[in-house]
Amino acid sequence: MNGKLFRADNSTISNYNAVFEKKDWIAIVLMCTSFVFWGHNTFFDYLIITTFMICSIILFYNGVLEFAFIPIVFFGQVLSVPYIGSFLQIYLVLFLIYLILRKSCTIIFPNKAIIYIVFLLMVIISSNFLTIVAMLVKLSILYCISSNCIRIDTYRNNLLKVVSISAFFSCVYGFFFGSELYFSYGIRHSGSVDDPNYSAFLFVLGIVSLICCRWNSRIIKYGILIVLLFSLVRTVSLTGIIVLFVSLTVFVLVKNWKVGIIVIAVLTIATLVFLSIPFADDSLFYGIQYRVNNSIGLIQSNNYDSLTSGRASILAFYLEHFFSTGFLGKLFGINNNLINVFHADPIDVIGFVPHNSYVDILMSNGFLGLTYVVCIFVYGVYTYLKMYFHNYHDNTYIGLALIKIVTILFCFSISIYPASYFVFALFL
C-alpha cells in the first residue's frame, strides 16, 4: 500500500504511527453504544449492523481495525447474528481482508513464531477446523496489538482507554438489560455477560486499565471509574473485589513500595470497619458483607465445598478423571482429538464446567499445555514490569501487566480457556 488507503506505514503489520484520531474514538464509542441495544428490536438491529459496518470501515481505512476486537470481545455473548453466527465472525473476516490488503499476512510472526504456533497446536487438538481458522486470525490481531504495545506509548494508552470504554458500556448494558440472580442476601447483577463473576472480570479489567491510562478529561475518567466500581459492587463478586484489591496493591507497590505497605494496612483496616457496619438487608453493600462473613465462617469450619458454592466437588470430579489416566493423558490432556481418554465431554457428564481455567487447560492440553500458558503469563507480567522500570515509569506498562494479573487470578474461579477474553490477556 502506498498510504492512500491506510494512514499507517504498512510495510509490516506492526508498523503503526500511533495516531488515533477523533473519528476513531467516535467509531469505537458508537460501536459500543450500538452493542448495548443489540437484540431487542428488529428494526434497531438493522441500524446496529449498519453502524457496526460503518465504524469498522472507518477503523479499517484508518489502519486501527484491531482496536474493534476489544468491544466485540466484551460484548461477545450478546452479539449473535441470525444465519451468520456472530459479530466476532464478521469482524474476523474483515480483519483477514485487512491483513491481505496491507500485504503483511506473510510476515505476521517474525519474532515470536514459536509462541503463537504452540498455542495454535493446543487449539488444533481440541477444536474443529473453523475454530482453528478463527483462532489464527485472533492471533494475528493480538500480534498486531502486542508488537505495537511494546514500542509505542500512545498505542498502549489508546489500548487501555478502549478496554475501559468497553467495560463502561458493558456496565451500561447491565443497567438496562443485564440478568439478575436472586439470593437470600440480595440480588447479583451482571453486565454484558449473564454471569456476575464473568461480568466482574470485565469490570476489573476496565478499572485497572482506566487507572493506568491518561485521559484529557479527568471528569470523564473519574465518571467512568465510579460507574465501573458501582457495577462491580452490584455483582456481589468476592472474587472481583479481592482481585481488584490485589491489583491496586500491586500497582501501588510497583509505584512506591513504602506507600504500598501503607495502602495494604489501610485496606485491611477499611475491610474490618466495613464488616462491622450494620447495613440494612436491602442495601447495596449488605450482600458483600454477608458473603464475606459467611465465607469466614465456612473457612473456620473447613466447609470448602459450600465456600466455593459446590465448585470444590466439581473440581475434584475433573481432577480425579485427569489423574486416573495414563502418562500421555497427563502430559497432553485427556479431552482432545489427539488423546481422547475420557470419551465423553466432562461437561455433559457432570453438567457444569470446572469453573477453573487451569483445570480446563489440564483436561485439554495436559501438564505441557498448563506449563506453557503459565510461563507465557508470568513472562508477560515480568516483561511489562521490567519495561516500566526501564522506560521512564510509564503507567501503561503496569496497566498491561495488571490485565494479565487480573486474568491469572480470575482463572482460578471462572472457565474462560480458550475464549477470546483469555487469548487477549495471554498474548497482550
pLDDT in tens, 189-233: 998 888 899 999 999 999 999 999 988 888 999 999 999 999 999
Question: Does the pLDDT value for residue 286 go beyond 80?
Answer: yes
pLDDT at 185: 81
pLDDT category of residue 111 using cuts at 50, 70 and 90: low
Grid coordinates given for 272: 474490618
CA-to-CA distance for 407 and 402, rounded, in angstroms?
8
Q: What pLDDT score was predicted for residue 102?
A: 66
How far apart CA 377 and CA 373 sit, in angstroms, is: 6
Asked whether the whole model's pTM tops 0.85, one would answer yes
Contact call for residues 388 and 401 (beta carbons, < 8 A): yes
- Give the highest mean pLDDT range of 127-136, 229-238, 307-316, 357-366: 229-238
Helix (H) or strand (E) run with residue 183 in it: strand 180-183
Residue the block writes with cell 506453557: 372
Q: Is the pLDDT of residue 16 over 60?
A: no
Query: What is the predicted pLDDT for the residue at 193?
Result: 87
- pLDDT band of 83, cuts 50, 70, 90: low
Query: What does 371-400 look like in DSSP terms, one character per residue?
Result: HHHHHHHHHHHHHHHHHHHHTTT-HHHHHH
Q: Which of 226-240, 284-298, 379-393 has the lowest mean pLDDT?
A: 284-298
Cα distance between residue 136 and residue 179, in whole Å:
33
Whole-number mean pLDDT of the chain?
81
- What's the pLDDT score for residue 29? 93
